[in-house]
């Protein structure tokens, strides 16, 4: 369901969010937003090959969920994974270089936007296949449990993936095996180019109940609400109580991919989105906490400088090396 | 030296790997007290516990996907898919995730998983429980595909597959599980990608893998009675396959027949024939002939299935053709 159909009221400031933390979240939100805004212009200028799927308007879920995770925790992401990657902590330089197809990219220019990953910080990859990351996260959770690591896994997926069979298999398996796995559904109301209401005959809440998996539905655009629920959910997962599901209601501002003109969406819906903007909500909270505009400006300037530096470095970086790429088809080629 | 069935050899390889490496885990349907459909995992859960030998629900896609995630995060999962026909349900995890990860993520991670699965007909198991689909996997860059033919190769190749850092599809033939052959007590691993010359001969080379190796050997025996000495090569690994051994044999015999149970069209034999017609062109004294199944689903009725499956006689006839 989308915001146009159901207005979700932001909760008032949660007590756990102190100002320093809120400022950090604001910076993280803005980093994702500004990075994606720059991707819009770079894509239009032909500097980003292929397809990109932007998560503008969906940043609070990445930042809020990641606020409850440690570097040892792992996440598996979706085709709309820039926010997850940046919030988990990938380097902006390697991120932009990857999207521009350069050797200095996260994946040496072999994956692009749909495969940004950084194993060293537990980012197991964006994914080009709807729902596929869910089972990867399930396996990661199995490894954490099996190797007795103090870590959990998070499976991000969109509401479009509710229609995928793999989700049902993974809900059952994770509940059966009591795996340390958090399911995060980013419900933006759209299954690619079609409204989810016309695609799905059930609710995730009832599906969760069928598997006896604790479920919560929150405003996915309110970073404080997301963080609060993430921490509340992650704690019992860490202590071995099995999986949980958070459904985050959010809105997709851009098209399914850049270049999608969204003619299938109403003007009324599109124009209503800014009222629920996660960054605007965060700024409102910071204003309530008496944080000055100047301070927010300084944060923005720092972020912009980092992004511009990353873009400039990516633009001048070398293209990937073909011999090195083909040598990496296998870890050990054998005979 | 003990005579052991292939099923027992696989069971021993799994047990020895679980013993040797605490990161090895087994995932599959009915692999615990049931011991797997063909008994390959018999008694392993009792020995190693339910946390390492994990009986799963009938969720092939999730099991395979979980194996990918687990392999990326420090485990060496071995997945059993009950029939190779059911690997249609694991294709995303294997083809889009496992096969690509090392390359696609710029070498950041490996996916050391093994997917064990039985192929092959002869049991009247019908069109959805008999197929030989190994060529599908051999066509995907990033996957390795192994097909043992006897107890020693099953044990040694499986140990290598488990230790290998890349995803390996390990294909067992249903009709061979009970077949006994020698397995040395101190058998170690056998290298992937290395073929074995199982019978030497100077007149013609027969390349085969899996159950077809035994058909080829039987055909070679019959040919010897006619004064034709056939060299039989057991490919053992079909991706990467041992081009050098096949080429060296062709350089001696100048004639090549390739036999497998899988459908002939677009199969492993087609790849070998194309490569040898290219790099071995000057060695060839006759056309390369393939022996495989006809282009049809595997039929159920025993009388139909007997006509469907490649036989020793068809290999004999193919060799006779290239000897003309």
Per-residue pLDDT of chain A (335 residues; tens, 9 = 90+): 344 444 444 445 444 448 999 999 999 999 999 999 999 999 999 999 999 999 999 999 999 999 999 999 999 999 999 999 999 999 999 999 999 999 999 999 999 999 999 999 999 999 999 999 999 999 999 999 999 999 999 999 999 999 999 999 999 999 999 999 999 999 999 999 999 999 999 999 999 999 999 999 999 999 999 999 999 999 999 999 999 999 999 999 999 999 999 999 999 988 888 889 999 999 999 999 999 999 999 999 999 999 999 999 999 999 999 999 999 999 998 64
CA distance B68 to B166: 11
User: Taking Cα atoms as reference points, which of A290, A316, A286 lies closest to residue A300?
Assistant: A286
Shortest CA gap A18–chain B (Å): 34
pLDDT in tens, chain B (324 residues): 789 999 999 999 999 999 999 999 999 999 998 889 899 999 999 999 999 999 999 999 999 999 999 999 999 999 999 999 999 999 999 999 999 999 999 999 999 999 999 999 999 999 999 999 999 999 999 999 999 999 999 999 999 999 999 999 999 999 999 999 999 999 999 999 999 999 999 999 999 999 999 999 999 999 999 999 999 999 999 999 999 999 999 999 999 999 999 999 999 999 999 999 999 999 999 999 999 999 999 999 999 999 999 999 999 999 999 999
The predicted pLDDT at position A6 comes to 44
CA distance A88 to A75: 8
CA distance B163 to A334: 12
- Comparing alpha-carbon positions, the chain A residue that sits nearest to B61 is A166
The predicted pLDDT at position A334 comes to 61
The predicted pLDDT at position A333 comes to 81
Q: Which residues of A touch B164 (CB under 8 A)?
A: 332, 334
- List Cα–Cα distances, B266 to A214, B136, B258, B292, in angstroms: 49, 9, 13, 10
Look at A335 and B72 and tell me if their CB atoms are within 8 Å.
no
The predicted pLDDT at position A15 comes to 45
SS (H, E, C) A180-215: CEEEEEEECCEECCEEHHHCCCCCHHHHHHHCCCCE
Which two tokens mark B91? Answer: 């294709």
Determine contact: A111 vs chain B, CB below 8 A: yes
Interface of A with B in 162-181 (CB under 8 A): 165-166, 169-170, 172-173, 176-177
SS (H, E, C) A84-121: HHHHHCCCHHHHHHHHCCCCCCCCCCCCCHHHCCEHHH
Shortest CA gap B303–chain A (Å): 38
Shortest CA gap A268–chain B (Å): 38
Residues written for chain A:
335
Residue B227 and residue B132 in contact, taking contact as beta carbons nearer than 8 Å? no
DSSP for B180-246?
Answer: EEEE-TT-----TT--EEEE--SSEEEEE-TTHHHHHHHHHHHHHHTT--EEEEE--EEET--HHHH
SS (H, E, C) B32-89: CCCCCCCCCCCCHHHHHCCCCEEEECCCHHHHHHHHHHHHHCCCEEEEECCCHHHHHH
The predicted pLDDT at position A3 comes to 41
pTM of this structure: 0.95
Mutate to test the interface with B, among A142, A151, A180 (most CBs of B within 10 A): A142
CA distance B110 to B154: 24
CA distance B120 to B305: 11
Distance of CA B154 to the CA centre of its chain: 9
Which two tokens mark A189? Answer: 């109301």
Q: Which residues of B touch A176 (CB under 8 A)?
A: 57
DSSP letter at B92 equals I
Which residues of B carry out catalysis? 60, 129
Which two tokens mark A41? Answer: 């212009």
């Amino acid at each position: 369901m989308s915001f146009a159909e159901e207005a979700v009221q932001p909760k008032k400031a949660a007590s756990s969010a102190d100002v320093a933390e809120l400022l950090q979240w604001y910076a993280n939100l803005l980093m994702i937003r500004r990075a994606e805004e720059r991707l819009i212009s770079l894509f239009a200028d032909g500097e980003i090959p292929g397809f990109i799927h932007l998560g503008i308007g969906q940043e609070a879920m990445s930042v809020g969920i990641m606020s409850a995770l440690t570097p040892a925790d792992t996440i598996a992401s979706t085709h709309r994974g820039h926010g997850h990657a940046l919030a988990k902590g990938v380097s902006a330089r390697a991120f932009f270089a990857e999207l521009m197809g350069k050797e200095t990219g996260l994946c040496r220019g072999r994956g692009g936007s749909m495969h940004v990953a950084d194993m060293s910080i537990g980012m197991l990859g964006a994914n080009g296949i709807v729902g596929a990351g869910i089972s990867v996260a399930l396996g990661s959770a199995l490894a954490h449990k099996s190797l007795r690591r103090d870590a959990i896994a998070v499976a991000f997926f969109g509401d479009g993936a509710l229609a995928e069979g793999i989700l049902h298999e993974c809900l059952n398996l994770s509940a059966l095996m009591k795996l340390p796995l958090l399911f995060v559904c980013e419900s933006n109301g759209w299954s690619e180019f079609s409204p989810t209401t016309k695609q799905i005959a059930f609710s995730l809440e009832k599906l969760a109940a069928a598997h006896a998996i604790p479920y919560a539905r929150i405003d996915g655009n309110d970073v404080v609400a997301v963080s609060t629920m993430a921490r509340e959910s992650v704690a019992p997962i860490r202590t071995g109580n099995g999986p949980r599901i958070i459904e985050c209601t959010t809105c997709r501002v851009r098209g399914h991919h850049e270049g999608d003109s969204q003619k299938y969406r109403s003007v009324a819906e599109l124009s209503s989105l800014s009222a629920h903007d996660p960054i605007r909500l965060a700024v409102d909270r910071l204003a309530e906490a008496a944080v000055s505009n100047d301070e927010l400006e300084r944060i923005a300037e720092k972020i912009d400088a980092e992004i511009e530096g990353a873009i400039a470095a990516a633009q001048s970086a070398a293209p990937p090396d073909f011999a090195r790429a083909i040598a990496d088809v296998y870890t050990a080629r054998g005979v | 030296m003990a005579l052991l069935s292939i099923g027992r050899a696989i069971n021993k390889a799994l047990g020895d790997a679980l013993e040797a490496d605490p990161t090895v885990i087994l995932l599959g349907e009915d692999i615990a007290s049931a011991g797997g459909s063909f008994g390959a995992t018999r008694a392993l859960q009792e020995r190693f516990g339910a946390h390492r030998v994990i009986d799963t629900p009938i969720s092939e896609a999730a099991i395979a996907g979980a194996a990918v995630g687990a392999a990326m995060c420090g485990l060496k999962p071995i997945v059993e898919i009950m029939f190779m026909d059911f690997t249609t349900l694991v294709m995303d995890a294997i083809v889009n995730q496992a096969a690509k990860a090392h390359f696609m993520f710029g070498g950041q991670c490996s996916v050391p998983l093994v997917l064990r699965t039985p192929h092959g007909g002869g049991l009247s198991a019908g069109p959805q429980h008999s197929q030989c689909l190994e060529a599908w996997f051999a066509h995907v860059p990033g996957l390795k595909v192994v097909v043992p033919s006897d107890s020693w190769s099953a044990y040694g190749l499986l140990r290598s597959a488990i230790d290998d850092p890349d995803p390996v599809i390990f294909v067992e033939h249903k009709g061979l599980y009970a077949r006994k052959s020698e397995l040395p007590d101190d058998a170690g691993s056998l290298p992937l990608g290395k073929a074995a010359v199982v019978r030497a001969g100077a007149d013609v080379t027969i390349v085969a893998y899996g159950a077809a190796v035994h058909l080829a050997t039987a055909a070679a025996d019959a040919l010897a009675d006619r004064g034709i000495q056939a060299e039989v090569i057991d490919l053992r690994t079909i991706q990467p396959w041992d081009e050098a051994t096949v080429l060296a044999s062709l350089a001696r015999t100048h004639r090549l027949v390739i036999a497998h149970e899988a459908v002939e069209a677009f199969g492993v034999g087609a790849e070998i024939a194309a490569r040898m017609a290219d790099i071995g062109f000057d060695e060839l004294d006759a056309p390369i002939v393939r022996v495989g199944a006809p282009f049809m689903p595997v039929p159920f009725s025993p009388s139909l299935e007997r006509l469907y499956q490649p036989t020793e006689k068809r290999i004999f006839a193919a060799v006779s053709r290239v000897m003309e």
